[in-house]
Amino acid sequence: MKRVLLKLSGEALAGEKHTGFDETTCMKVAEQVRTIMEAGIQVGIVIGGGNFWRGRTSENIDRAKSDQIGMLATVMNCIYVSEIFRSVGMKTKIFTPFACGSIAELFTKDAAMECLEKGMAVFFAGGTGHPYFSTDTTTTLRAIEIEADMILLAKAVDGVYDSDPKVNPKAKKYKELSIQSVIDQKLGVMDLTASIMCMENRMPMLVFGLNEEDSIIRTVRGGFSGTRVTV
């Protein structure tokens, strides 16, 4: 494994507060990413915006504007987490698909690949830059563009279940299943657009709980306890 795209749930980064940031959680992520990068793995990162904004629940805001607020939420998340990474001695770079002044650089594949090859943790903020596309789609798109070996999907839930484990205590957790099954059963691992992109471009993913001890390191090293989604 040479290169991965790590998708972090914004809600998971918020910890028990469920909003904003939990610095202890973010620091643990930084230390784990530093460990796997020191082992020679290149890491791109996408962060969701759910710890700040889920505007689709509001009927009073235009969908395009709501999604733009969500894009900016992901920029805030990437700035914060990038600084946490820097505090533990890592070099980072933030890319966005739209101009953000001196805050971030405009994304190009060549620039991102160059930073990855230099051993930097590369953050892809701002979604795709367009409304109606989620950070799930951003994750899949960037993973394909940077030619990642797989997606590491770190969520608040520790894998893929046949129903919502928060609602159904008897929900069954899958150890492994295909992306086609995810699509057919509408399991909600990623949204449909992202799932189809994974299937068409043969991009596998590992889904696991971010808040489990050393979950990122264990996932990379083979001590995986989540759900493997095959292509």
Question: DSSP secondary structure string, 10-63?
Answer: HHHHTGGG-SS--HHHHHHHHHHHHHHHHTT-EEEEEE--TTT--GGG-SSS-H
Tens of pLDDT, residues 72-124: 999 999 999 999 999 999 999 999 999 999 999 999 999 999 999 999 999 99
3-state percent helix, strand, coil for the chain, nearest multiple of 5? 40, 20, 40
Contact 23, 57 (CB under 8 A): no
Q: Which alpha helices (H) appear in 60-173, and where do they start and end?
A: 63-87, 109-117, 135-145
Contact 175, 228 (CB under 8 A): yes
Tens of pLDDT, residues 36-74: 999 999 999 999 998 898 766 667 889 999 999 999 999
Residue 135: band (very low, low, confident or very high) from pLDDT cuts 50, 70, 90: very high
pLDDT at 48: 92
The answer to whether residue 152 scores a pLDDT higher than 70 is yes
Q: What is the mean pLDDT of residues 125-142?
A: 95
User: What's this model's pTM, rounded to 2 decimal places?
Assistant: 0.92
